[in-house]
Chains A and B, each alone.
Chain A
Amino acid sequence: MSILNWTYLFVGLSFSLYLFIAWRVRVKDTRGFYVAGRDVPAYANGMATAADWMSAASFISMAGLISTMGYAGSVYLMGWTGGFVLLALCLAPYLRKLGHYTVPEFIGDRYESDVARVIAIICAVFISFTYVAGQMRGVGVVFSRFLNVDISTGVFIGMFIVFIYATLGGMKGITWTQVAQYWVLITAFLVPTIAISIQLTGHIVPSIGMGATLIEPSVVGQTHFLLNALDSTLTDFGWHFYTEAFEGKWSKFNVFATALTLMVGTAGLPHVIVRFYTVKNVQAARWSAFWALLFISILYLSAPSLASFSRYYMIHTLNGSTSESLPSWFHSWEKTGLILWLDDGDGIVRYSGDQSNEIFRSGKMGSKELEAVKNNHQIWLESGASNGIDGRQLLLDKQLSGPDRDIIMLAAPEMASLSNWIIAFVAAGGLAAALSTASGLLLVISSSIANDLYYRTLNPKASQKNQLLVGRVTIAVAVIIAGYFGLNPPGFVGQVVAFAFGLASASFFPAILLGIFNQRVGTIPAIIGMLSGISLTAYYIIHCVFLNGERWTLGVIENGITPEAFGMIGMLVNFGLVILLTPFFPPPSDRIKEKIQAVRSPEA
């Protein structure tokens, strides 16, 4: 069977499985809709959390990011797993004990203020939309490459599936489909990674293979450790060492601050936190945090291996090839514009980190623009540089050197020349990753608006039936808006993710942590802290990313603070202000104090 038929089969099967599960567990009350009736077993919740958390970014982009960044890619590995430690130790059990439905609900109740609640709602909705946009693009990429359909048709199918199981089953439907999606995505990730590991190093466990010696003796004729070989090849072709720490804009401060921002941001992301509201009790919340991290670590320990394997593989197969000897995966991905080759005239491919590089990606260029670049480059070649435009210089100036990072994971099975059905299975895995995260986020949007804004703030007398209706309608509207972003991806999705994490770490994390561990913090300092944390972070990111402003060095930091790292500063400002202001403002009411006391016993 061809790749296309296998893909139809796997995608069709997995989609019908999701719909079947959604039908089996459809819900009729708000408890089921928002927190799955609070009867999800810990390991299942762990799996669902893992699928919820591992988005299209983890599945499709992360290995590619690490592959191009080398050591600096560790910020994603550490940041996106380390946050779970904070979540498990400092937030999840306490929040579960308080027994709310959503994060804005906790903030509103703890600080006894609708203003605080509304600020939290706005943050939750903003963070979630930023994220959903990325997932929908992921769905589009997978569909267009693997099913040969229009990106827009792909997004419509994705929207339809999410819409059905999210509105029908609410949190309950989402939870059980996420459990299924976890299995699909983890298998789809591990199979090609293990296969490449065996091919290159002979080890079945990718994490061991990464540190092992290469099977094929390298140019020198003796066996080499993969990482050493990679380091020396990379420097030969004009890059820095793969394992080199702190290079370019990734100074020690920025690596540290970005990792910390991602950790704290992870702990503050509303769609992850709400997952811990769905388990039976506090003990189960702790166990499910453990299961979640364990299930996530399976992918996160393999991803850096895949990253180094594919970097090695790509450099060695591309360099020195001619248009006839280029591997077939290159041609199939060339059509998507994720990778392209502009020759310098000698007919031999060179993929390097300097001026002589010939491998590029099309980025956000349309197909017409790309065609023009290629044609002008051809004229330039044929005329011996007297006419036309050197496309290599053009793309270099646009910072489009090297293949698109998404290709690393998606083309991995083809690079390892695996069977067609595995290639198709990866497509189903990418879709599972994108859809599971998208549905979790849509539920956060819906619960923030229907539960927190409509029921708790605007119309406290609303009936169960009424609330459910509002919840379902909000999901429908959110799906349509998310679909719109999927069809017309805002050019800045990548940068906006920095926004989501920066905001989560500068707003939710300090507010929740202080809310639990400091009984004295009252309404006003908390609101001031959140507002200043958010606005400072937002200001800096807009200043750097959208207005191309100078980066702050604060007098000590080399190369300035990157916008991704600024969430840490926002968080510190938030913490600092709240602690500084607290003594001057009234404490919370005794009722709240007692509640917090009860939540923290028996340990405090």
Chain B
Amino acid sequence: MSLLLFCWFFFSLGCGVLWVDFLNQWTIPGTGFKLGFWFAQQGSIIAFVLIVLIYAILMNRVDKADHN
């Protein structure tokens, strides 16, 4: 779970805010997105959805194993 929380911080506040200037020097190939800007407005949200999905699958598996 702490790993997932780390991902949460890394992709949103990290890539989207702290290192955005650094990442903005690249653009995503074939698009007009600067990388940092993309993380702030699109990437972070996609990452959030995946984090919660992984969490739900893993934790519910742990719960199930515990009941058997």
A228 touching B32 by the CB < 8 A rule?
A: yes
Interface size on B, residues (CB 8 A): 39
A82 touching B12 by the CB < 8 A rule?
A: yes
A84 touching B52 by the CB < 8 A rule?
A: yes
B5's closest neighbor in chain A, by CB? Answer: A89
With a cutoff of 8 Å between Cβ atoms, the chain A residues found around residue B55 in the complex are 88-89, 286, 290
B63 touching A282 by the CB < 8 A rule?
A: yes
Given that A293-B52, A301-B46 are contacting pairs, would A259 and B17 also be in contact in the complex, using a CB cutoff of 8 Å? yes
Taking the closest CB of chain B, its distance from the CB of A442, in whole angstroms, is 28
Cα A578 to Cα B21 with chains together (Å): 36
Q: Provide the A188-212 mask, 1 if CB < 8 A to any CB of B, else 0.
A: 0000000000000000000110111
Interface size on A, residues (CB 8 A): 49
With a cutoff of 8 Å between Cβ atoms, the chain A residues found around residue B18 in the complex are 252, 256
Taking the closest CB of chain A, its distance from the CB of B44, in whole angstroms, is 5
Given that A211-B28, A211-B31, A211-B33 are contacting pairs, would A74 and B13 also be in contact in the complex, using a CB cutoff of 8 Å? no
Given that A212-B31, A245-B36, A286-B55 are contacting pairs, would A74 and B48 also be in contact in the complex, using a CB cutoff of 8 Å? no
Q: Provide the A233-250 mask, 1 if CB < 8 A to any CB of B, else 0.
A: 000000000010110000
Cα A87 to Cα B11 with chains together (Å): 17
With a cutoff of 8 Å between Cβ atoms, the chain A residues found around residue B42 in the complex are 207, 210, 301, 304
With a cutoff of 8 Å between Cβ atoms, the chain A residues found around residue B49 in the complex are 290, 293-294, 297
B45 touching A81 by the CB < 8 A rule?
A: yes
**Which residue, A211, A252, A304, has most C-beta atoms of chain B within 10 A?**
A211
With a cutoff of 8 Å between Cβ atoms, the chain B residues found around residue A66 in the complex are 41
**SS class of chain A's interface: helix, strand, loop or mixed?**
helix
Contact of A183 with B by CB under 8 A: no
Cα A245 to Cα B44 with chains together (Å): 16
The residues in A between 504 and 529 inclusive whose CB is less than 8 angstroms from any CB of B are: none
A225 touching B32 by the CB < 8 A rule?
A: yes
Q: Provide the A251-270 mask, 1 if CB < 8 A to any CB of B, else 0.
A: 01001100110010000000
> B20's contact among A88, A245, A286, by CB below 8 Å, is which?
A245
Given that A212-B31, A293-B49 are contacting pairs, would A82 and B44 also be in contact in the complex, using a CB cutoff of 8 Å? yes
Given that A82-B12, A212-B31, A286-B60 are contacting pairs, would A245 and B37 also be in contact in the complex, using a CB cutoff of 8 Å? yes
Contact of A85 with B by CB under 8 A: yes
B56 touching A81 by the CB < 8 A rule?
A: no
A77 touching B45 by the CB < 8 A rule?
A: yes
**Which residue, B8, B21, B24, B48, has most C-beta atoms of chain A within 10 A?**
B48
A82's closest neighbor in chain B, by CB? Answer: B12
With a cutoff of 8 Å between Cβ atoms, the chain B residues found around residue A228 in the complex are 32
Contact of A287 with B by CB under 8 A: yes
With a cutoff of 8 Å between Cβ atoms, the chain A residues found around residue B1 in the complex are 89, 603
Cα A604 to Cα B48 with chains together (Å): 24
Given that A78-B16, A297-B48 are contacting pairs, would A283 and B37 also be in contact in the complex, using a CB cutoff of 8 Å? no
With a cutoff of 8 Å between Cβ atoms, the chain A residues found around residue B56 in the complex are 88, 286-287, 289-290
A243 touching B34 by the CB < 8 A rule?
A: yes
With a cutoff of 8 Å between Cβ atoms, the chain B residues found around residue A259 in the complex are 12-13, 16-17
B41 touching A304 by the CB < 8 A rule?
A: yes
Contact of A227 with B by CB under 8 A: yes
B37 touching A300 by the CB < 8 A rule?
A: no
B32 touching A213 by the CB < 8 A rule?
A: yes
With a cutoff of 8 Å between Cβ atoms, the chain B residues found around residue A90 in the complex are 5
The residues in A between 79 and 114 inclusive whose CB is less than 8 angstroms from any CB of B are: 81-82, 84-86, 88-90, 93
Contact of A126 with B by CB under 8 A: no
A79's closest neighbor in chain B, by CB? Answer: B12
> A256's contact among B5, B13, B41, by CB below 8 Å, is which?
B13
> A246's contact among B5, B8, B21, B51, by CB below 8 Å, is which?
B21
Cα A73 to Cα B8 with chains together (Å): 19
With a cutoff of 8 Å between Cβ atoms, the chain B residues found around residue A256 in the complex are 13, 17-18
A293 touching B40 by the CB < 8 A rule?
A: no
With a cutoff of 8 Å between Cβ atoms, the chain A residues found around residue B17 in the complex are 78, 252, 255-256, 259
Cα A300 to Cα B53 with chains together (Å): 17
B33 touching A290 by the CB < 8 A rule?
A: no
> B59's contact among A85, A93, A212, by CB below 8 Å, is which?
A93
With a cutoff of 8 Å between Cβ atoms, the chain A residues found around residue B16 in the complex are 74, 78, 259
B40 touching A300 by the CB < 8 A rule?
A: no
With a cutoff of 8 Å between Cβ atoms, the chain A residues found around residue B60 in the complex are 283, 286-287
With a cutoff of 8 Å between Cβ atoms, the chain A residues found around residue B8 in the complex are 82, 85-86, 89
A89 touching B4 by the CB < 8 A rule?
A: yes
> B44's contact among A78, A89, A227, by CB below 8 Å, is which?
A78
Contact of A330 with B by CB under 8 A: no
> B66's contact among A77, A207, A246, A602, by CB below 8 Å, is which?
A602
> A289's contact among B37, B52, B66, by CB below 8 Å, is which?
B52
Cα A96 to Cα B10 with chains together (Å): 28
Contact of A380 with B by CB under 8 A: no
B31 touching A225 by the CB < 8 A rule?
A: yes
Contact of A71 with B by CB under 8 A: yes
Given that A71-B40, A603-B59 are contacting pairs, would A297 and B46 also be in contact in the complex, using a CB cutoff of 8 Å? yes
Cα A71 to Cα B16 with chains together (Å): 10
Cα A282 to Cα B64 with chains together (Å): 11
B8's closest neighbor in chain A, by CB? Answer: A85
A66's closest neighbor in chain B, by CB? Answer: B41
Cα A259 to Cα B42 with chains together (Å): 15
Could you jot down 18 A-B contacts, CB within 8 Å? A74-B40, A74-B44, A77-B40, A89-B4, A89-B8, A89-B55, A90-B5, A210-B32, A211-B32, A227-B34, A243-B34, A256-B13, A263-B12, A286-B60, A290-B53, A297-B46, A300-B45, A602-B62
Give A contacts to B, CB under 8 Å.
Answer: 66, 71, 73-74, 77-78, 81-82, 84-86, 88-90, 93, 207-208, 210-213, 225-228, 243, 245-246, 252, 255-256, 259-260, 263, 282-283, 286-287, 289-290, 293-294, 297, 300-301, 304, 601-603
In the complex, given contacts A78-B16, A601-B66, what are 10 additional A-B residue pairs having Cβ atoms less than 8 angstroms apart? A77-B41, A81-B48, A82-B8, A82-B12, A82-B44, A210-B32, A243-B34, A283-B63, A602-B62, A602-B65
Closest 10 CB pairs of A and B: A225-B32, A211-B31, A74-B40, A602-B66, A227-B32, A286-B56, A304-B41, A211-B33, A243-B37, A245-B20
